[in-house]
Amino acid sequence: MIIKRYVVDNMNEAMVRIRYELGNDAVIVSQRKIRQKGIIGILKPRKLEVTAAADEKQKNVKSKSEKNEELEKELSDIKNMVSILLRERDTNRKDNKNKTKQKLLENDIPNEIIEDIYNNIKLKNQDKKLTPKMIESCFKEALMDIIKIDENKDDKIQVLVGPTGVGKTTTIAKLASLYSLYQNKKVGLITIDTYRIGAVEQLKTYAEILSIPFEVALSLKDIPEIINKMKGCDVILIDTTGRNSKNIMQISETRKYVETINAGKVHLVLSMTTKQSDLKKIIENYKIVNYNSLILTKVDETNAYGSILSCCYYGNVPISFLTTGQNVPEDIERADKDKILKLVLGVDN
Ligand SMILES: Nc1nc2c(ncn2[C@@H]2O[C@H](COP(=O)(O)OP(=O)(O)O)[C@@H](O)[C@H]2O)c(=O)[nH]1
Ligand SMILES: [Mg+2]
């Protein structure tokens, strides 16, 4: 208990001092009028003597609780601030993702692929605040991984498989020209496409123009002998019958041929004018053929290069060639990672 005596001019002054020094809970114990000491004191007006008491503990508890209140207020302010910042960060992240996503969607890249890539980026960068630049470069990195390019030297035996009308025969003619005219290689052509009227003639004509050997395999058992006949060639290119990609029986038959041929390279030929949902199914259905390369045709007929990425993503094998028109031999080029990335991202060359 603290007891304090105050000599003041009036009660107001006493109350202000008591509250300031002893706190709000102090009580006034006594008050009386007093004369000041000495002769001069007799002449001066009387003063007020006020005695007040306060519980020291109470005073401390009070100030502690006041402090606690202050701390609690500060804490809740900080909490509010943190939650505002977190909300802002999440909206930013969403916006950042949306900008990159929008750009990729405009280039016809399927949402499913974009979401997959984005989820991977999130997993890899769990604790980092991703800026738009970082998200864009993470996407670029992911796309670079998805786009695989066939860097192998050209295999001796190469077979082309794929749906009807995608450009297998035309591409074989282009490849034959590329190897024989530009690389001076000895090239042999074989077709096992005896199913379609005119298919044999089509390739035979190209063989004649290029003056290179040409053989037709009418059945599976012809194949070893025909390949043996061409053993002197540097490159043997084999054309197959286009198959309806929904007909698994037909694709299984192609598989038997491919196994018998035992080619170093099995190119799945896909047209970029095919709907992306169909491309995905074709890529799946042809997996039984064990293709190890992609040739993407009719790139000239589309501006939506998302199909190229879809093929890389779902096929998960390297791209060897792209074809860009009907002209034999010039409309073909070897796959180039930077060029494909630019096409996919919609950056002008
Ligand atoms: N625009 C364009 N047309 C192509 C391309 N490659 C092939 N074609 C055309 O596609 C059609 C089918 O080609 P073809 O080689 O017979 O296909 P196949 O049935 O797979 O052997 C033909 O009219 C070709 O000229 C290409 O890269 N661009
Ligand atoms: Mg053909």
Task: Check if the beta carbon of residue 151 is closer than 8 Å to that of residue 176.
Answer: no
Mutate to test the pocket of ligand 1, among 326, 328, 332, 333 (most ligand atoms within 8 A of CB): 326
- 53-76 residue pLDDT tens: 988 765 555 567 777 888 888 888
State how far the Cα of 345 lies from the Cα of 221, in Å rounded to an integer: 47
- In degrees rounded to 5, what are phi and psi of residue 158? -130, 130
Residue 296: pLDDT band (50, 70, 90) is very high
Cα 166 to averaged position of ligand 1 atoms, centre (Å): 6
Cα 220 to averaged position of ligand 2 atoms, centre (Å): 18
State how far the Cα of 213 lies from the Cα of 210, in Å rounded to an integer: 9
- 95-151 residue pLDDT tens: 666 777 787 888 888 899 999 998 888 888 887 888 888 888 888 899 999 999 998
Least confident of 59-63, 153-157, 230-234, 329-333: 59-63
Question: Could you give the C-alpha distances from 246 to 97, 175, 268, 282, 317, in angstroms and in order?
Answer: 36, 28, 15, 8, 21
Whether the pLDDT of residue 78 is over 60: the answer is: yes
Write out the residues surrounding ion ligand 2, Cβ under 5 A.
168-169
Residue 349: pLDDT band (50, 70, 90) is very low
- 80-97 residue pLDDT tens: 888 878 776 666 666 666
Per-residue confidence (pLDDT) for residue 227, from 0 to 100: 95
Least confident of 132-146, 188-202, 265-279: 188-202
Nearest CA to ligand 1 atom 23: 326
State how far the Cα of 151 lies from the Cα of 170, in Å rounded to an integer: 23
Q: Which residues line ligand 1 (CB under 6 A)?
A: 164-170, 242, 297-298, 300-301, 323-326, 331
Instruction: Name beta bridge partners: 157.
Output: 236
Task: Check if the beta carbon of residue 265 is closer than 8 Å to that of residue 216.
Answer: no
Q: What percent of the chain has pLDDT over 90?
A: 52
